[in-house]
Amino acid sequence: MDPPVIPGVTLADGATMPALGLGTWHMGESASRRRHEVAALRAGIARGFTLIDTAEMYGDGGAEEVVAEALDGARDRCFVVSKVLPQHASARGVVAACERSLARLRIDRLDLYLLHWRGHIPLAETIGAFEGLRRDGRILRWGVSNFDTGDVEELLALPDGRHCAANQVLYHLGERGIEWALADLCGRHGIAIIAYSPFDEGRLLAHRALASIAARIHATPAQVALAWLIARNVIAIPKAAKVRHVDENAAAAALQLSDATLAEIDDAFPPPSHATPLAVI
């Protein structure tokens, strides 16, 4: 069977980023699970999931090592994202952290490098380091994670802030706060939204209304949750540490939600009616 056609999201520089990828949070934490994690990622790549998201924080670098094994022989067709911790986000620290991530991943460049969340180091210093890595070809583009509306506005006011390619945030059917202002702000400035924990760490999949909607359209709750994000031009990175989860998620790429289904989803999971602080995990 041919792998699903994963739709793409066009970034500000014209590159296309897959709208559905493979998350690796909590991978690389257990030697006993490593073989299964690598197998799941390899299965995902074979099925057309060429976006892989990781971070130096995940498993203290262990997730990046898992990704390295999965990427063996497939690097050129994959879009690899990693993240730098805020305590490493100084001018020298970013460069050193990036080199460590590249070494663990066994690759020579990152397609996207994100500041994991804001810390005490000035944004201008971090962005300057990102720009240096971009000029040197160690990263192709950079972005941020867990940035709320005010953070993005501050970022955009900086000289090179317009080069921000993406903002990775908590976003799923049960947590739609970014729709009040943040999503629109990012959209107006060409900053792609990447949704982490699209299943709310599994809690969303047990929601009765979502299960009912999914059953009616002959899909699973996970597939509906992902298809909803894809329909909103959002990039979703569910963790799939088992091959069966990869197969289930892959079917979401072809799932088209009707206007009636989207309205039913809005009834069950209403959009925000007022501004709220950005939710994080």
* Residue 266 identity (one-letter amino acid): D
- Asked if the structure places residue 279 within a domain, the reply is no
Task: State which residues form the domain around 17.
Answer: 8-268
Phi, psi of 81 (to 5 degrees): -120, 135
Check residue 85 and report its DSSP letter.
Answer: -
- Asked if the structure places residue 129 within a domain, the reply is yes
- Asked if the structure places residue 39 within a domain, the reply is yes
Largest CA-CA distance found in the chain, in angstroms, rounded: 54
- Asked if the structure places residue 42 within a domain, the reply is yes
- Asked if the structure places residue 262 within a domain, the reply is yes
Tens digit of pLDDT for each residue in 39-70? 999 999 999 999 999 999 999 999 999 999 99
Tens digit of pLDDT for each residue in 153-180? 999 999 999 999 999 999 999 999 999 9
CATH for 120: 3.20.20.100
- Asked if the structure places residue 278 within a domain, the reply is no
* 167 vs 236: CA distance, rounded Å: 12
Q: Are 20 and 6 in contact (CB under 8 A)?
A: yes
Q: Is the pTM of this model over 0.95?
A: yes
* Residue 275 CB-density burial (10 A; 0-12 exposed, 13-18 middle, 19+ buried): exposed
- Asked if the structure places residue 277 within a domain, the reply is no
3-state class (DSSP) for residue 51: strand
Beta strand 164-170 with 192-196 is parallel
Tens digit of pLDDT for each residue in 84-125? 999 999 999 999 999 999 999 999 999 999 999 999 999 999
At 36, the pLDDT band (50, 70, 90 cuts) reads: very high
* 158 vs 54: CA distance, rounded Å: 27
- Asked if the structure places residue 1 within a domain, the reply is no
| Tally of domains within the chain | 1
Q: Could you give the residue numbers annotated as active site?
A: 58
